[in-house]
Structure 1
């Protein structure tokens, strides 16, 4: 096997900031900050989302609307782009 071709694989402390959960695993990620965890100092990498806070894994799925996207769009913005229907019928006569 060739030497010096593999990345540095070491213990890294990941922090899910949404759920405030720390977990220690091995990774090749490069970090500039370190943090102490269970008596040892590890490279520290904050995360926005992980399995501890993702709705798929936590079972807290958001309810989606039963109406379609087009109907929702027309409900919100239908009055802005359309012409006045009464004016259209008056001009046709």
Structure 2
């Protein structure tokens, strides 16, 4: 593996502005912005639109689809599928 062609893998803070949540992890993402973390060190910060703190799937606020109601509406509109001839 050629070291000069690999991106730098470094600690980076990802900040979810919608949820007011930030977490420190290692990534190849870069940013000109920096933030001072809880350990007193300064890390690059990448703002993200959505993370596990604000995504409806992880927060339990996901919309559920009423498939039974949709099937019933289809059958009311187009019949129950029996041929009428």
Q: With the length of structure 1 as denominator, give the TM-score of the two structures.
A: 0.64
Structure 1 segments, 4+ long, off by >4 Å, are 63-67
Using the alignment, how far apart are the partners of 1:61 and 1:6 within structure 2? 38
String of CA shifts for 1:33-60, please: whole Å, max 9, x gaps: 1010111100011111001110001111
Question: 1:4, CA displacement in angstroms?
Answer: 1.1
Compare CA radii of gyration and give the structure with the larger one.
Answer: 1
String of CA shifts for 1:47-93, please: whole Å, max 9, x gaps: 110011100011111355756xxxxxxxxxxxxxxxxxxxxxxxxxx
Q: Count residues with an aligned counterpart.
A: 69
Aligned-residue RMSD, C-alpha:
1.9
Residue 61 of structure 1 corresponds to 62
Residue 26 of structure 1 corresponds to 26
Q: Any stretches of 5+ residues in structure 1 without a counterpart?
A: 68-93
Q: With the length of structure 2 as denominator, give the TM-score of the two structures.
A: 0.70
